[in-house]
Structure 1
């Protein structure tokens, strides 16, 4: 969570008395007040310090407030600092507009009203703090996203009922050879053999917070791979981490096979501890030395070493315990019946418990210490990533709440800006030049556009908190209602063909919004064609319904398709087609809340088709 630092206000005025008055009015324990008597001093402080708000006198010698503001707005470090202009006289509308163009957010006229000054400063400082907090949260989200996408493990979200993939990271391409977009078309059953389907269904019904299991799956190349799944259950979602353990499984099979080979080998392979006690004895040792395993485990290795070479064998044991390996040493041994036999002796230290092994052949042991360390490290990283996923979910919820409150806070200054512009137009419209009238219209138009953006942001935020009220809804009826609400002149110009559409289990209000956004988009982007045409139709499969809305509009390059469903992402300028870039983000969020998915196909100059799926049940 972002913690605001001490607020810093810069006051720039050529009169010390004015600075002293403002400083005494605005100074609190949570604020730091800086001041400058000239524009140059103010610029230096703004560039050297972290400033949250600037109070800037307009009438100053050498460099006036407008010039200072212009320089501040051309610098990347200072361009976002809010500026309040202070003037001792009523200035004309042209200079007011000039101030706004140079980056001013408000004006104060001397003599200053203390309550008004405090109120404006408090509002702007609060908005500046909220802006910093939003930037901080965006950086955190980007960091979490980078961690998830750079993980070697598959990480994502699966719908618990249908077991369909809803989100996956980039590791899916390395492990399964599917693209992220391709895998979202499938469910978990598709990757598994039919014999495993019933097991997966039982797991999907299992309660609790965590599930761990291993399964083998088919990749896109129809290769078999083993995955270890760690599932965190959150409501109707599985937040999963899947690790490729194919090599580990192979190694386990190899180790098991080798253990069987060693146990059944005709060569004598046995293990002793540092005191010489025999702790392992294979079939080959039974055949060569004549002792059964039960007998051998009660013996020491000195029982099979002739007395004449025991001093030599003792020295050899010390070397082995210090870590020296012995390979194919010709020596003598004695069996159960007192017969000397010639052997090739190989020995190596197995572990820190100082066990050694003797064999009539050379033996190579697998050192898995580094592998175990790596596995523990991966387990820790996996746990960290799971924690990050949970934190990311929490941060998303906080960000939705934050966006909602910021949007509300923006409305007041926006209404004031539009209201003042309206007053100027009504009271002084006849006195304004054409150029001033143009600037005033620009202010009003941009204020209105900002209002639309705020409304769209509020709608998007509400979706995160709204409970979905699903009922069986007649989709054809909704589509016809939306088309009937379109202006008749626009409707008559477009040739809109609607096929029979299957009903679906959805929230009526939310899907009215989906169809309004998609149909208005189709009408808008096909409006420049001589004969605009729109076709709405559907397809059904066993488990889901796919709805399509096709137009013959301007289309776009598919290279930019992924941007369409992000907030404020647009592929056409406002001069070509009006819009805020929030409508499709709302559509995607609604469809995701209904456990469906949406995609787009388009050709530049030919047209666009939006498609989305919904589960039948």
Structure 2
């Protein structure tokens, strides 16, 4: 009885341990199965990430080539390619951000890609706008600065880093998957060996379940492999796998479309037969370097012969993957940049032609400058001398022959002297305008409040009437102090002159900001003028009032216009007859 009880106790204990072991084994098997499923899902997710990355790389290429082609040719189909990639790239970036959310490193790469793309997009939008509204030549001039190439270099480097990271993730997930399957099988066979007699039913059921999961995983892996193959075979770039002797193991369908050779024709040709003779030595050196650095992508640009006989420019990367038994070759990724090369040569040619034009225009400007200096010298010396003689002899007539001259003669000599003085003033004004045209601009900070205070004080001292001044706080300017002082002198003296006939002369001086520039103004309550003729004000010797009404040469406002134009600003006026006038001029703000 005691033995029987003991036997039953042992049996119960064995059953209890067996059940406990079975539960533990089943629990571990289930956990391992879930781990295997997660690993397969990670593999699938990595392949999907690589798919969207290649799509993004293709869109970035379209973005670059479309914008360049439109800028240089102006053809609308290139603009459509650019605009399509511009709309689609942010979508792909969001997709990649969602798929790589668990990886902070990949997220940082995507954030950097988004930043560089936005910066390049601003730059390319300015190129497209320049090509659209200014023409191909100005846009091409902007294009050759290389700014867009710098952005693309950053973007391609980030994409390459992203691709390399995902490839490592893919290989790691494959290894983890194989380990998970091996562990799962070991657990399964352990359960079968240890509990074969008592747990046949459970073992068979578990085996069937695992077999079903294996089939599902195999089907999922096969589906992922087909999708990855579709990605490669539908890529616009040449994707190939070659051995150390440059013998092609695999080449994507794009190779036939780009080079013209079918796969069968290509098998009878060696790489040396298709590579440009001038590139052979460099290619051999590159291959030696690639073989010495496994896993590192090397950029390359080479010429390859097309089936029709002409040479193609191909650009891309070679990556040594002999260390990976699953690849065991050199991965080649090349794209056709023949058209880009042609465009670059055209840009270089355009740049050379532009330099020739600039040199020619410079010579013409120098000649004009010399002519103007000669003209200024002639006016200064040759015209002043006769005026001095006329004025001098007229004064002699008035002083030494006063007793012999009647009233009419004295009136005539007075007219001669006055007109000689006016002629001298005209010559002075013309010389001032000529010197202002040739004078270089030396920028510095200008205390506008102090400058205007000095000009107002000097002008008021010479004025024949009292004037009410309203002067606001004026911001500092950035320009040539002497030239800007002349601007204020001309505008303030004009305001004093043309408001002199008002019962209560009033002049207002102020400023405001508009579109990144500082606008200064001088307003008076004088005689004003007809706004229909305001465009004539800033031309040399153009006046809206006769010399009998107000003295002047008609040069002062022309000098104002020339000075402000040389500073990159604008001048304009507003007025009504009998209600005064307002003169405005703008100066760019210093952003340094």
Q: TM-score range by the shorter chain?
A: 0.3 to 0.5
Q: Which structure carries more helix by proportion? A: 2
Taking structure 1 as the reference length, the TM-score comes to 0.40
User: What TM-score does the superposition give when structure 2 sets the normalisation length?
Assistant: 0.41
Larger Rg: 2
